[in-house]
Amino acid sequence: MPDAPEDVHESNAAAPAGATRGRPGRPKIGEESGPSRRRRIREAAVVVFAAKGYHDTRVSDIAAEAGVAHGLVYHYFKGKDQLLQDIFRRTWGHIEQGLRSIEEGSTVAADQLAGVVRLLLGSYRMSPELVRVVILEVTRSGGLRAQVDEIADAFNIIERIIAAGQASGEFRADIPARLVSYVFWGAIDEVLTAWVFGTLPDADADVAEAERAVVELVLGGLRATPSDA
C-alpha cells in the first residue's frame, strides 16, 4: 500500500493547543517528513494494538503513543482499520520478499526450508509486538485475511520449494507438495501462536530451540530414503 502523498503545506497549526509533542530523542513533528510521520504513527499503532487489542484501541491512544495530535493520525490514515491493514501489508510484503530471496538463494530444498523456518520464527525475536498483532488481529481474527492475496503467494513459494525437492529426489514424492506446504506452515504458525499466548517459553534460547525442532521434524519426515527411490 503506497504512502499517502505528503501535504507540503501541513504544519503544526493543525494541532490543537497543548497537543502532545514527540518523545525525547525524536525529531519535532514539524521537522519530520511525511513518510517519517507515517512510520511514527504506524509503530505506535503496533505498540497499542499489541497491548490493548485492536477492538479496545482508540485512535486517540495511538496518537498519544506516537506523541502527535489526534487529527494528525487522520491526516495519514482513515482510521485504525486502515492502520491495521497497512501494518499487515507491509509486514507481509517483507515476509514475501524474504521468502523469494530464500527461494532464489539456494538450490538445496532442505536448506531453503530451513531458511524459511529461521525467517518466520526469527521474526518473533526481532519484533514480538508486531508478531502478536499479526497473529491475533489478522490471521486469527479473519477480519483481513480474505482481502489479502499475498498470503497465497507465500504458500506458493513454499510449495514450489517442496515440489522442486521432490522432483530432484531430495524429498519423498508420495505426498502432494501443496499439502506438505500447509503442514509445514501450520507447524510454524502454531509455534508463533504459542509464544503470543504464552504457552511456550520465548527467550532467545527457546526460539533457537524451536527453529531446530521444526527443521528436524519437518525435514526428517520429508527426506527421501533409499526405499523411496
**Cα 160 to Cα 158: distance, rounded to the nearest angstrom:** 5
Domains by residue range for the chain, with CATH: 17-77 (1.10.10.60), 88-222 (1.10.357.10)
Note the residue count of the chain: 229
Q: How much is the pLDDT for 22? A: 40
Q: How much is the pLDDT for 108? A: 94
> Cβ(14)–Cβ(72) under 8 Å?
yes
**Cα 113 to Cα 218: distance, rounded to the nearest angstrom:** 9
**Cα 97 to Cα 103: distance, rounded to the nearest angstrom:** 10
Grid coordinates 489479502 are at which residue?
A: 148
What averages of pLDDT result for each successive group of 10 residues across the chain (229 residues)?
36 35 46 78 96 95 95 94 91 92 93 96 93 86 60 89 96 95 93 95 94 92 73
Report helix, strand or coil for 160. helix
Q: How much is the pLDDT for 145? A: 55
Q: How much is the pLDDT for 9? A: 33
Q: How much is the pLDDT for 13? A: 32
**Whole-prediction pTM value?**
0.78
